[in-house]
């Protein structure tokens, strides 16, 4: 079953929560500046570094010994990296030939903890069992199917599995270069894990503006505005999906199905801005801003939830374009504040963040929980493209979250 949401009228579906912010080189008033407490080793996206590019983290809690909890991070062509709570690498996993690990989320089948990874190179999920020691073991079934492509020839176009968010035995997966989302049911067979699709949904690719115009985000020809960052609020039956050039969406879930009409939580600041694609620079030249946007500067990215009760807590979203993060009330989606991770005594700051993960479970050194963020411009960088993950003590956000 597949549903398509057609042209979206801005007035009907969007719930903008604040006036657009202006991007400047300095923090705007009211933005909380915090520093990270620890970081993982530098990853370098070049041949010498194994083409490793940090992207998306997940936090695994060792229930028997929280001090041995782990951070699992994707490194694209560099596969997976597993880190301890001090940021030290404890395991490195190489992808299969042609593989490119994009996003990761965790779930539990029976008593088995699993890391579910999108392999965007091969258009499949890779499933890893998390052992009691915290080590990962690949348990993907040999006959695991393609996620979206009809055949291997279509995989070569790289319109493949991209973002992922898990809940129970299900994984929501987005398709690169498209607006499509799919729900896949995880199934265990003889110690291996496979999956099958249960539903699909196409978010809009064009939008009707108040001035009567129809707007489509400027992209390379043949590409539609894709989703990457996602998180599921299982207690509320809600998926939050970050459509990079458009908005953060709230989508209802019912078991293994999408239900109802998707609603916007907040649009990007560039919403409604016309653009012209330049094939030489591979960039879009923007036109005049009609003023229909929100605060998030495209891309809207990593989304994660810090729970404080069955339905209470905080939703955190990355504003990649200006290296800020927005905090919302989990229940109402009311905006609560904005923060930046800046250079501190122990680490450099966070720029152009993709993935985010948070836990409210007390951990050694993090008694109120831990926030892990991708840093897209790690320094010092040795003159190379460098990325990593930053660890933030949740207590640093006290002034935003104690409201």
Main-chain dihedrals φ then ψ at residue 88, nearest 5 degrees: -80, 140
DSSP string, 29-92: TTEEEE--SEEPPPEE-SGGGTT-----EEEE--SS-GGG-EEEEE-BTT-EEEE-TTS-EEEE
Q: Over the stretch 284-337, which tens digit does the pLDDT of each residue have?
A: 999 999 999 999 999 999 999 999 999 999 999 999 999 999 999 999 999 999
Q: What is the dihedral of CA 263, 268, 273, 276, to 10 degrees?
A: -110
The overall longest dimension of the chain from CA atoms, in Å, is 59
* Summary mean pLDDT of the chain: 93
Give the residue-averaged pLDDT of 222-234.
97
CA angle 89, 101, 41 (to 5 degrees): 25
For residue 162, the model assigns a pLDDT of 98
Give the residue-averaged pLDDT of 264-293.
94
- 207-208/8-9 β-pairing: parallel
CA atoms of 306 and 58, how far apart (whole Å): 13
> pLDDT band at 3, cuts 50/70/90?
confident
Residue 395: CB atoms within 10 A of its CB come to: 13
CA atoms of 333 and 265, how far apart (whole Å): 7
- Considering the entire predicted model, what is its pTM? 0.94
For residue 203, the model assigns a pLDDT of 98
**Residues contacting 332, CB < 8 A, separation 6+:** none
Give the residue-averaged pLDDT of 105-134.
97
Q: Over the stretch 326-378, which tens digit does the pLDDT of each residue have?
A: 999 999 999 999 999 999 999 999 999 999 999 999 999 999 999 999 999 99
Lowest mean pLDDT among 15-19, 57-61, 253-257, 267-271: 15-19
53-72 burial, b for 16+ CB within 10 Å, e for fewer?
Answer: bbbbbbbbebeeeeebbbbb
Helices (H), 91-231: 152-155
| Cβ atoms of 261 and 279 closer than 8 Å | no
Tokens of 70: 């782990």
Tokens of 367: 């008694």
* Burial class of residue 206, CB neighbours in 10 A (0-12, 13-18, 19+): middle
The CATH class of the 2-18+29-401 domain is mainly beta
| Cβ atoms of 162 and 118 closer than 8 Å | yes
For residue 21, the model assigns a pLDDT of 32
Which sign, positive or negative, has the C-alpha torsion 274, 278, 284, 287?
negative
CA atoms of 139 and 130, how far apart (whole Å): 10
pLDDT at 19 > cutoff 70 = no
Placement of tokens 């008033």 in the chain: 29
CA atoms of 59 and 62, how far apart (whole Å): 10
For residue 8, the model assigns a pLDDT of 63
CA 110 to chain CA centroid, Å, is 26
Which residues on adjacent β-strands are paired with residue 232?
239
> pLDDT band at 403, cuts 50/70/90?
low
> pLDDT band at 29, cuts 50/70/90?
low
Placement of tokens 């699709």 in the chain: 197
| Distances from the Cα of 53 to the Cα of 44, 73, 101, 105, 385, angstroms | 6, 10, 10, 17, 8
């Amino acid at each position: 079953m597949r549903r398509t949401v057609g042209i979206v009228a801005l007035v009907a579906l969007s719930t903008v929560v604040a006036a657009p912010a202006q991007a400047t080189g300095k923090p705007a008033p009211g933005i909380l500046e915090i520093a990270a407490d620890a970081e993982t080793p530098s990853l370098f996206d070049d041949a010498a570094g194994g083409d490793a590019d940090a992207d998306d983290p997940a936090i695994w809690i060792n229930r028997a010994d929280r001090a041995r909890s782990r951070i699992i991070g994707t490194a694209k062509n560099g596969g997976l990296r597993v880190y301890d709570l001090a940021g030290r690498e404890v395991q490195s996993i190489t992808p299969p030939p042609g593989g490119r690990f994009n996003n990761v989320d965790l779930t539990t089948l029976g008593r088995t903890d699993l890391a579910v990874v999108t392999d965007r190179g091969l258009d499949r999920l890779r499933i890893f069992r998390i052992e009691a020691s915290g080590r990962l073991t690949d348990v993907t079934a040999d006959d695991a199917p393609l996620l979206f492509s009809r055949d291997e020839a279509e995989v070569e176009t790289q319109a493949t599995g991209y973002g992922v968010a898990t809940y129970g035995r299900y994984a929501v997966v987005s398709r690169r270069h498209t607006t499509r989302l799919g729900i896949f049911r995880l199934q265990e067979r003889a110690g291996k894990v496979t999956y099958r699709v249960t539903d699909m949904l196409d978010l809009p690719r064009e939008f009707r503006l108040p001035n009567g115009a129809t707007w489509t985000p400027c992209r390379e020809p043949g590409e539609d505005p894709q989703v990457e960052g996602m998180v599921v609020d299982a207690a509320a039956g809600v998926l939050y999906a970050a459509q990079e050039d458009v908005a953060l969406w709230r989508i209802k879930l019912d078991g293994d199905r999408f239900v109802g009409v998707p609603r916007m939580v907040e649009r990007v600041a560039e919403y409604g801005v016309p653009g012209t694609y330049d094939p030489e620079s591979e960039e879009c030249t923007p036109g005049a801003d009609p003023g229909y946007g929100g605060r998030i500067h495209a891309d809207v990215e990593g989304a994660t939830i810090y729970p404080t009760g069955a339905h209470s807590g905080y939703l955190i979203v990355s504003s990649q374009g200006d290296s800020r993060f927005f905090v919302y009330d989990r229940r109402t989606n009311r905006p609560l504040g904005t923060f930046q991770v800046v250079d501190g005594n122990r680490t450099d700051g966070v720029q152009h963040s993709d993935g985010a993960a948070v836990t409210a479970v007390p951990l050694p050194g993090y008694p109120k929980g831990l926030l892990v963020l991708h840093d897209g411009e790690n320094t010092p960088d040795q003159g190379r493209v460098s990325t990593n993950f930053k660890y933030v003590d949740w207590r640093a956000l006290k002034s935003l979250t104690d409201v």
